[in-house]
Structure formats: C-alpha cells, structure tokens
C-alpha cells in the first residue's frame, strides 16, 4: 500500500521501519529536516506538507505529542484533510483527548475519509520489537482495512469501540501504569530510608505478588539511578491532564490518580520533564531532604 507517516520520534522511527520492511511504499512529512533525512535513508519519500503526504497516501499514520498537534496536522493550513481523497484513512497513534478524536472523526467523515484513534502501550522497546498493545477506536470496517498494517506494529490489537474509545482505553492504561511507577518509587524510598539494599528488595518483590513489568523496568532504573528518558515524564504529565480532565467533565472520582498527578506536577516543577518517569523517586527524595 501507499502509506504516509508523521512523527519520527522514538516510537515513530521503528514503526516506519516495520512498514517499509513489510514491503509498503512509505512517504513522510517532518518538521525537523534531520528526521526527514533519516527517513529518506530508510527508503521513504519526503513530502513538503501534510497535504502533499495525504494526497499520495491511502493511509496516513501519525504519532505526535498532543491533541492540538493532531488537530493542526489534520485540519490546519496545508493539513492532511486538504490532500486526502475520499476513502483515505488517518490512523492516529498519539495519546490525545477522546473528545478531540471524536471531533476529528466527524470532520473527516464529512469528506469521506476514515479515522482510527489507535494509541499504544509498550514504549520504545515495544515499538522496536513490534509488540505494542494497540487500542483502537473507530468504525469496524476502517479497522478491518488497516488491521494487517497494525499487526506489523503490535502483537495485540483490540477494537475498543467507536471513535474516541481507543483514547479512553489509553487513559485507563496510563492511570494504572503511572500509579504503579509511583508505588514502585515509594517502595524504593521506604527501603532506602531503612538502609536496606533496594536492589535486593526489588529482586525479592519480583518473585512475589508485587511483581510487574513496571517494577521490573522502572524499578530497575530506580536501582541503577538511570533516569535518562525511556518515556519522558512530561508525556505522562500530559496524559494525566487528559485523564483528570475527563474525570472532571464526567464527575468521576479518581483519588489515586489525583495524588499521582500532583507528584508529576512536582517533578515538572523540579525540571524533570525530559527525564524518565522513574525519576518520581527523586521527588520523594527531595521531599524527605535526601
């Protein structure tokens, strides 16, 4: 198929590579010339605008930062909507507000273009290994059309429901995952305050009911004090803004999430937005004077 791709960061670069390796004809649009040049070396054509990209593509994938970015990409000046032909599909794999996903789906439908919100879980490691969990929101026939492509990017694709439903599932994923990161940080801080070897504590916990992928990966980073970004904390902070915004709109109490968001706020205030979210440990340490 003729495919387009926007968003050549830590997640997007390996996704692009998997689609090229599967034999599809890829084109990209990128704000950063160096990102476009890297994609060109991988075998992708480079377009001058999103509209040009959409005009030559049957399906366009995007993995960008937030709701405003996706809206601008789709319907801004020289946006994808200007180039799509009827029957084209925009698969957005970013993490954005459910309301934004619904609005974009409706606007695209008016011009005969399909939409799928398909946020992912698994991080850069999952993107590299093509083992991402993909949560899809949109029409079933649109998903059926792009499913063979998504299966090149992830090991699990679940149709959650109509447009926006994928983003609801992603918000739920983030609530659980980041709360577990905070819980791991608190456990490591308590062990450290006792003067106990936190590596040994983590090793013991990994053999019991507290074991989790979060404790394995994020706990490992806390033990080694490697806070270089796997996923930048600012992105989880953004995701919690979406989740808590939905909670406010719907009147849904999320007491644990609210506390975790405050810890993320503190991390942002400390200048840790570009560090890994495992650096929530440092918020606890600074609070106790360590």
Active site amino acids: 170
Name the pairing type of β-strands 25-29 and 45-46. Answer: parallel
Which residue pairs, CB below 8 angstroms and at least 24 apart, start in 27-36? 27/2, 27/3, 27/53, 27/56, 27/57, 28/4, 28/53, 29/4, 29/53, 30/6, 32/8, 35/8, 35/9, 36/8
What's CA 163's distance to the chain center, in Å?
A: 17
If DSSP codes are grouped into helix, strand and coil, which group holds residue 206? coil
Residues in the chain: 290
In this structure, what are the phi and psi dihedrals at residue 189, rounded to the nearest 5 degrees?
-70, -40
Instruction: Give percent helix, percent strand, percent coil of the chain, each to the nearest 5.
Output: 55, 15, 30
If DSSP codes are grouped into helix, strand and coil, which group holds residue 112? coil
Q: Is 207 within 8 Å of 219 (Cβ atoms)?
A: no
What is the distance between the alpha carbons of residues 256 and 164, in angstroms, rounded to a whole number? 24
Q: Is 104 within 8 Å of 70 (Cβ atoms)?
A: yes
Please identify which residue in the block is written with the tokens 């942002």: 268
What is the distance between the alpha carbons of residues 254 and 244, in angstroms, rounded to a whole number? 8
What is the distance between the alpha carbons of residues 165 and 276, in angstroms, rounded to a whole number? 27
């Amino acid at each position: 198929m003729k495919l387009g791709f926007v968003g050549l960061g830590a997640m997007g670069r390996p996704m692009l590579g998997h689609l090229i390796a599967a034999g599809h004809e890829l084109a990209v649009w990128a704000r950063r010339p160096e990102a476009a040049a890297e994609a060109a070396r991988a075998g992708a054509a480079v377009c001058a605008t999103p509209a040009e990209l959409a005009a030559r593509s049957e399906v366009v994938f995007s993995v960008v930062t937030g709701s405003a970015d996706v809206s601008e990409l789709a319907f801004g000046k020289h946006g994808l909507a200007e180039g799509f032909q009827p029957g084209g599909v925009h698969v957005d794999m970013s993490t954005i507000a459910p309301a934004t996903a619904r609005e974009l789906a409706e606007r695209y439908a008016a011009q005969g273009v399909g939409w799928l919100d398909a946020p992912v879980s698994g991080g850069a490691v999952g993107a590299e290994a093509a083992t991402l969990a993909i949560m899809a929101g949109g029409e079933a026939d649109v998903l059926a059309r792009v499913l063979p492509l998504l299966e090149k990017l992830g090991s699990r694709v679940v149709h959650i429901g109509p447009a926006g439903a994928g983003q609801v599932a992603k918000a739920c994923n983030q609530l659980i995952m980041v709360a577990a990161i905070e819980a791991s940080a608190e456990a490591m801080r308590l062990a450290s305050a006792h003067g106990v070897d936190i590596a040994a504590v983590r090793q013991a916990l990994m053999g019991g009911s507290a074991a989790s992928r979060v404790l394995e990966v994020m706990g490992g980073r806390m033990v080694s004090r490697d806070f270089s970004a796997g996923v930048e904390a600012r992105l989880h902070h953004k995701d919690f803004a979406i989740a808590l915004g939905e909670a406010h709109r719907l009147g849904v109490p999320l007491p644990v999430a609210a506390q975790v968001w405050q810890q993320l706020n503190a991390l942002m205030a400390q200048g840790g937005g570009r560090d890994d979210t495992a650096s929530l440990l440092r918020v606890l340490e600074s609070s106790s004077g360590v």
